[in-house]
Amino acid sequence: MTFDRYGPPEVLRLSDVERPIPKDDEVLVRVQATTVTRSDCGLRSAEYFVGRFFTGIFRPKRGTIGLEFAGEVASAGEAVTDLAAGDRVFGICSGGNAEYVCVREEGVIARIPLGMKFEEAAGVADGGLSAISLLRSAGLEQGHRVVVYGASGSIGVGSVQVAKHLGAHVTAVCNTKNVDLVRSLGADEVIDYLKEDFTKNAKTYDVVVDAVGKHSFLRCRRSVKPDGIYITTDPGFMWHDAAISLLSKRAKLGIVRYTKPDILTLAGLIEAGNYRPVIDRTYPLEDVVDAHRYVGTHEKTGNVVLTVR
């Protein structure tokens, strides 16, 4: 999938391009499934103008899209030692909405756990790795009390499961239709935000995770313990309560870092039965415009997957 200008989903198109050739330290992956994430929609539309300094001021620099992938190793470079043709792998790379991608062996790639389908594997890396990175940055420890706002989204689903694995007491906030789902992921308490505002229940938490960027530190500050942390994935929080955020040590913008050790940890959690994917809808790759429209409604649960034929 390619695009040569920022705009609505219709700027995306299916294009024939040269198959990538792996370097000595890379593998060529034949992609079976990939995803559409909020980040993909933000990149396509240039939702956050500051991002254009990295992706291209007037036009996208790369012109490809997609973040997650799952598939089979088609071939390996001469310096690759751990992966081989035929291995089932998943991970993170730039331009994942494609039939083939090249990924460094030491990049964010791991073998798919046994018994896991490609469609399932494609939808775990972004949310799971983001959760691991955010909760580490927030200093979450065993016994901490954490609230995850937006617990039914990709990062929210990941945060609930990773926090439970780390031994935290998890309060998950979502809408009515997802209460049972989020509880099944291990949340100790579930709050339906259509019926209750967690910021007004007089409870305080060691960590408040805004996994969808719809709250602000200003709104949540009374729910954060004096030595606690509010952490968000939304860079816009710096604008709508910038003064308080800059003056407080309790507010933090979560900078997600995808790493090889973290994806190996995530694969281990899946194998141990401590992490499972949540897939909302599946589209064929050629219907990526429809998939972007749906993700753009901000109503998705978990992940939206694209299958590559």
**Does residue 291 sit in the same domain as residue 193?**
no
Specify if 102 maps to a domain. Answer: yes
121 within 8 A of 96, measured Cβ to Cβ: no
Q: Which two tokens stand for residue 199?
A: 């910021």
Specify if 227 maps to a domain. Answer: yes
Q: Which two tokens stand for residue 8?
A: 């609505």
Q: What is the pLDDT of residues 291-301, one digit of tens each?
A: 999 999 999 99
**Does residue 115 sit in the same domain as residue 179?**
no
Helix (H, G, I), strand (E, B) or coil at 164: helix
**Does residue 21 sit in the same domain as residue 107?**
yes
**Does residue 84 sit in the same domain as residue 107?**
yes
64 within 8 A of 2, measured Cβ to Cβ: yes
Boundary-marking domain end, from 238, 253, 268: 253
pTM score, whole prediction = 0.92
pLDDT at 244: 59
pLDDT at 302: 96
Backbone angles phi, psi at 32, to 5 degrees: -105, -30
Q: Which two tokens stand for residue 195?
A: 């019926």
Specify if 185 maps to a domain. Answer: yes
pLDDT at 246: 57
pLDDT at 96: 96
Q: What is the DSSP letter of 19?
A: P
Specify if 1 maps to a domain. Answer: no
Phi-psi region of 105 (alpha: psi -120 to 50; beta: other; left: phi over 0): alpha
160 within 8 A of 186, measured Cβ to Cβ: yes
Show the beta-strand stretches assigned E in the chain: 26-36, 68-76, 88-92, 100-104, 109-111, 145-149, 169-174, 189-192, 205-210, 224-232, 251-253, 279-284, 303-307
Give the CATH number of the domain where residue 233 resides. Answer: 3.40.50.720
CA proximity to 165, closest of 66, 276, 248: 276
93 within 8 A of 235, measured Cβ to Cβ: no
CA proximity to 277, closest of 124, 80, 77, 168: 124
What are residue 101's DSSP bridge partners? 29
pLDDT at 240: 56
**Does residue 208 sit in the same domain as residue 285?**
no
Backbone angles phi, psi at 262, to 5 degrees: -70, -35
**Does residue 110 sit in the same domain as residue 212?**
no
Q: Where are the alpha helices (DSSP H) in the chain?
A: 38-45, 52-55, 118-122, 125-137, 154-165, 179-184, 217-220, 237-240, 242-247, 260-271, 288-295
43 within 8 A of 18, measured Cβ to Cβ: no
**Does residue 143 sit in the same domain as residue 206?**
yes
**Does residue 22 sit in the same domain as residue 105?**
yes
Specify if 234 maps to a domain. Answer: yes
**Does residue 33 sit in the same domain as residue 94?**
yes
pLDDT at 49: 62
C-alpha to C-alpha distance for 28 and 162, rounded to whole angstroms: 30
pLDDT at 53: 61
Q: What is the DSSP letter of 128?
A: H
Give the CATH number of the domain where residue 73 resides. Answer: 3.90.180.10
pLDDT at 243: 53
Specify if 265 maps to a domain. Answer: no
Query: CB atoms < 10 A from the CB of 204, how many?
Result: 14
Specify if 271 maps to a domain. Answer: no
**Does residue 240 sit in the same domain as residue 295?**
no
pLDDT 10s digit of each residue in the chain, 309 long?
A: 999 999 999 999 999 999 999 999 999 999 999 999 999 998 898 766 666 666 767 788 889 999 999 999 999 999 999 999 999 999 999 999 999 999 999 999 999 999 999 999 999 999 999 999 999 999 999 999 999 999 999 999 999 999 999 999 999 999 999 999 999 999 999 999 999 999 999 999 999 999 987 777 888 889 999 999 999 887 655 555 555 555 667 888 888 899 999 999 999 999 999 999 999 999 999 999 999 999 999 999 999 999 998
Range of 294's domain? 9-124+277-307
Looking up tokens 């960590």, which residue turns up?
207
Q: What is the pLDDT of residues 188-227, one digit of tens each?
A: 999 999 999 999 999 999 999 999 877 778 888 899 999 9
Share of the chain above pLDDT 90, in %: 81
**Does residue 205 sit in the same domain as residue 285?**
no
CA atoms 69, 283, 121, 190: torsion sign:
positive
Specify if 144 maps to a domain. Answer: yes
- Domains contained in the chain, number: 2
**Does residue 201 sit in the same domain as residue 230?**
yes
